[in-house]
Amino acid sequence: MNKFLFFTFLLLFFNSFSSFSQKRKLSRSGINTPKSGGIGGNINDSISSGEIDVTLSGKTKYTDYKIISHKRDTTIIDTTLTIQKEYKFNFLRKDNFELLPFHNQGQTFNNLGYDFSNSSLYPDIGFSAKQFNFYQIEDINYYHLPTPTTQIMYRSGMEQGQVLDALFTLNFSKRLNVALEYKGLRSLGHYRSSLASHGNFRASFTYETKEGQYTIKGHTAIQDIFNEESGGLTDDSLTAFVTNDENSANDRGRLDVNLTDTENYFDGKRYYLEHSFRLFSTESKKKGKEKTNTKTEIPRDSLFINIKDSIAKNKAITKINTSSKKDSIANKTLAKEKTNFTNLKVGHVVLLDNKFYKFEQPTLNTTMFGNANVTGNIATITDYQFLSNQFFLDFNSKYILGNFRAKVTHSTYEYGYNELTNINAYPDVNVDKLSGDAISFGADWNGKIDKFKVNASAQITPGNGRLAGNHLRAEATYKKDSVFTIKGRLNINSRSPNFNTLLHQSNYDNYNWQNNFENIGTRNIGGTFESKWGNASIDITNIDSYVYFDENGTPQQTSENINYLKAKVSKEFKFGKFALDNTLMYQNVSNGSSVFRVPELVSRNTLYYADSWFKGKPILVNIGATFKYFSKYKANAYNPLLAEFQLQNDTEIGYPTVDVFFNARVRRTRIYLKLENVTSSFAEKNYFSAPSYPYRDFSIRFGLVWNWFI
């Protein structure tokens, strides 16, 4: 609650002092739009009249409101209502087509598919079931906006809970942009011991000097993910659920669970900073006057793509590769002397990443976890720290057809515990910490060859330490105007398994190990095809020395090669005001299926109606139903002590679900109402997220996403 109050105070404080990038005049007569047409729209939508009169220093349009990813791809703030927005309206704010959620939001997910096209360079702490709602470096966005902008996302939870995600950005000048974001989640859940409570605070900034000689960006992410763990239903309760026992059908809290006082907690603090300096020569000066194109404007009543038919015109919102666009900030210097910069840039990236995982249980449960060396409270804490410093040289030339970066990185890590926990039972576990350092060498290339755009990255870390390995990633894109886009990709990766598979300590005897696993080798080749006729993608992955958790929750490394094929197609058909959106995924594990398991088929089909209602068409509605199905497979079981999924050979899971939704857009507010799993009241009770963990029953969810701007 203190975090919510603190973030609310920040929003109010910055809203009251957001005049850094505007000229304001107090007025009692209302709010006037900029003389130039401004950013368009009726500002009275988001600010009550009679407060301030805003005059912008220049013209703005919706394309000026940019979101820049970690990879420097740029998108535009989008307030339209589409079926893709429906798929992303969850607490992850991502399309979870390849994920199977547990009954309560804020809990973990089982995997219906895997993505190996973007493997990490170094091993992580592990405890991967806790990291679905954990923002990684590539999840942090940076913003370039002409005026302060705010977005609020709210979604109701299960039994006394909700999720609120707030974004506030402002610019102190054209060259300094700051963003604050906080997502808070709390949901009790319908079953016992299912409480989820998460907090994700992110702050980011970008800055560059007037001539673009020095640039800097950075972010901090402070996150905590807390869950009560039930261990799933007991055998008797599982029978009562499957047979739809009348005593528990309307109150799932009556069903007994395996764990009643167990909790796990994942915490992370990350600090990231990247800055560069462009070398220059003072031998010559250039005078120039570059005209800025300000002719493109939008009407006042169409702020931020206020499209009457957002589905038909949504294709106008496309991804912009910043490597092919001139930086608008650096190229708007008018009638001023400009230093003749060279095409050589030096830079530095520093990353400090701290994580820890805690498992706490006041009362032992030897039935589920086996014998322990204590009789009272268990509280096991695992710490992890990673620090890296990277130095790079950037070179841009027509002779290398783009931008080339050479880099060298020094990294250190420390993982482990404060002391040896269970040395009497397992004397082979003779260390309480793993630590080391390494130097990596690499290069990146972003270029253009005729109509092909190529992005490639390579890195090698020599030695025999836990950070040793190599990595190669390449992607080529060919775009035929707006007709189609073809992408091909290659990813070759060799790295150590996550640290929790190498060293783990617990008061429970069966959960102590110290392993010396080989590097995991991953080779992935794939491609995507996107067009007006439909989209398709295919990935072929080969994995050597795959590491997994067996039926006992013990990490194992297989000598068997895993061959994994994943193919996906999607197409939307429109019939007047109706549309049918379809996605089908086929998967096959030709070798290694005994340890690597996925369903053969996963499908999602959405039939919906879209139209604008009432005079003047102020409301756009999407009304429809989504049918999702995945074929039966032996889904992995969830282990709450390890916060990992492990193999099991007793239960097959696979079933259809139907969700009904009513969504609407009023100006820049999107309203969502969903009836989840509507067939559960009369269908067979065979829906599970993992063995002993039922999927959610019929429930009603409400939420909204609201943007407002100055």
Q: Quote the DSSP letter at residue 77.
A: -
Comparing 2-6, 225-229, 279-283, 300-304, the range with the smallest average pLDDT is: 300-304
Q: Percent of the chain beyond pLDDT 70?
A: 82
Cβ burial of 466 (10 Å; 0-12, 13-18, 19+) is buried
| CB distance 388 to 409 below 8 Å | yes
**Mean pLDDT, residues 105-122:** 93
Angstrom distance (rounded) from CA 75 to CA 97:
22
Cβ burial of 309 (10 Å; 0-12, 13-18, 19+) is middle
Angstrom distance (rounded) from CA 302 to CA 313:
13
pLDDT for 319 equals 40
| CB distance 568 to 585 below 8 Å | yes
Q: Encode pLDDT of 317-348 as tens digits.
A: 334 343 334 344 334 433 344 445 668 899 99
Mean pLDDT computed over every residue of the chain: 84
Angstrom distance (rounded) from CA 274 to CA 351:
9
Angstrom distance (rounded) from CA 481 to CA 485:
8
Residue listed under structure tokens 């609020």: 152
Angstrom distance (rounded) from CA 646 to CA 634:
11
Angstrom distance (rounded) from CA 257 to CA 318:
48
pLDDT for 55 equals 60
Between 491 and 46, the higher pLDDT residue: 491
* Number of neighbours of residue 616 by Cβ within 10 angstroms: 9
Per-residue pLDDT at 398 exceeds 80: no
- Cα atoms in the Cβ-side hemisphere of radius 13 Å centred on 85: 26
pLDDT for 482 equals 78
pLDDT for 472 equals 96
Per-residue pLDDT at 156 exceeds 70: yes
pLDDT for 429 equals 83
Helix, strand, coil percentages, rounded to 5, for the chain = 10, 50, 40
Between 638 and 296, the higher pLDDT residue: 638
Q: Encode pLDDT of 556-587 as tens digits.
A: 999 999 999 999 999 999 999 999 999 999 99
Closest-CA residue to 232 (of 708, 646, 709): 646
**Mean pLDDT, residues 401-422:** 92
Comparing 47-56, 75-84, 128-137, the range with the smallest average pLDDT is: 47-56
Closest-CA residue to 31 (of 54, 58, 60, 61): 54
Per-residue pLDDT at 420 exceeds 50: yes
pLDDT for 100 equals 97
In 314-432, the DSSP E strands lie at 320-321, 334-361, 378-397, 402-416
Confidence of residue 211 (pLDDT cuts 50, 70, 90): confident
**Mean pLDDT, residues 684-688:** 93
Q: Encode pLDDT of 603-655 as tens digits.
A: 999 999 999 999 889 999 999 999 999 999 999 999 999 999 999 999 999 99
Tokens of 503: 């060293």
SS3 124: coil
SS3 43: helix
Report how many domains make up the chain.
Answer: 1
Q: Encode pLDDT of 529-543 as tens digits.
A: 999 899 999 999 999
**Mean pLDDT, residues 399-415:** 91
CATH of the domain at 15: 2.40.170.20
pLDDT for 341 equals 60
Angstrom distance (rounded) from CA 343 to CA 1:
50
Reported as type and span, the H/E element at residue 449 is: strand 433-449
Residue listed under structure tokens 């943007």: 707
Angstrom distance (rounded) from CA 21 to CA 145:
10
Per-residue pLDDT at 307 exceeds 60: no
Highest mean pLDDT, choosing among 24-38, 46-60, 70-84, 591-605: 591-605
- List of residues 6+ apart from 27 with CB closer than 8 A: 50, 52, 53
Confidence of residue 500 (pLDDT cuts 50, 70, 90): very high
Helices (H), 167-268: 235-242
Confidence of residue 54 (pLDDT cuts 50, 70, 90): low
Angstrom distance (rounded) from CA 60 to CA 33:
12
pTM for this predicted structure: 0.84
Per-residue pLDDT at 305 exceeds 70: no
Per-residue pLDDT at 171 exceeds 50: yes
- Enclosing domain of residue 631: 2-709
